[in-house]
Amino acid sequence: MNKKLYIVTNRRLVKNKNMIDILKASILGGADAIILREKDLTYRQLVPIAEEIKKITDSSNIPLIINNSIETALKVNAKGFHTSYQNYMNSNLKLKCTVGVSVHNTLEAINAQKKGADYLLTGHIFETDCKKGLKGRGISFLKEVLSNISIPVIAIGGITETNIDTVLETKVRGAAVMSLVMTSDDPFTTTYNLKKHFKR
């Protein structure tokens, strides 16, 4: 089974480039899916960005997943909707698109699967600048979640070219990166080099 590389957006990390250009470059470099995660934006602010990205993902035949805003996901007819564990467990979602949930321990993973999540974003695996000062949960944590779950698990958190192999050696269905690509001076090459590990 082909493991997939997910790019998670964070426009605040982008320094000298346009986020759309970064996504275009990362898709050319081999990204398999985009998760639009701009939680501070209102629906009105998010929709035009989502629509622009959707054109790019559609033309490359890869899914766009919207984080946190169901309204935006429905408006742009996104392939997926992603949300936090708390929001998911407190909601009564009945969506036709794929629904993913972020989990941070095995119990959350089990509960989200029971409630009907299609996939889990599990982390953070390694230390990351996005969660400064918080130690990564490690590969053993990832394996523990995987041994209790039958739906797809995607690893996230501090994943780079130097540690991606240890992630892909597990039964994960994919890996997600945010800062690695968002802060890259050359997002095409960064994505391309990371994606090469998926083909081994």
Q: Tell me the two tokens of residue 145.
A: 């979640």
For residue 181, the 8-state DSSP code is H
- HSE-up (13 A, CA, CB side) for residue 184: 24
Closest CA to 112 of 130, 77, 86: 86
Binding positions are: 67, 102, 131, 158
Looking at beta carbons, which pairs linking 9-12 to residues 24 or more positions away fall under 8 Å?
9/34, 9/35, 9/36, 9/37, 9/38, 9/178, 9/182, 10/37, 10/38, 10/130, 10/178, 10/179, 10/182, 11/38, 11/182
Strand intervals (E) in 13-170: 33-36, 64-67, 80-84, 98-103, 119-122, 153-156
- The tokens describing 76, both together, are 């742009």
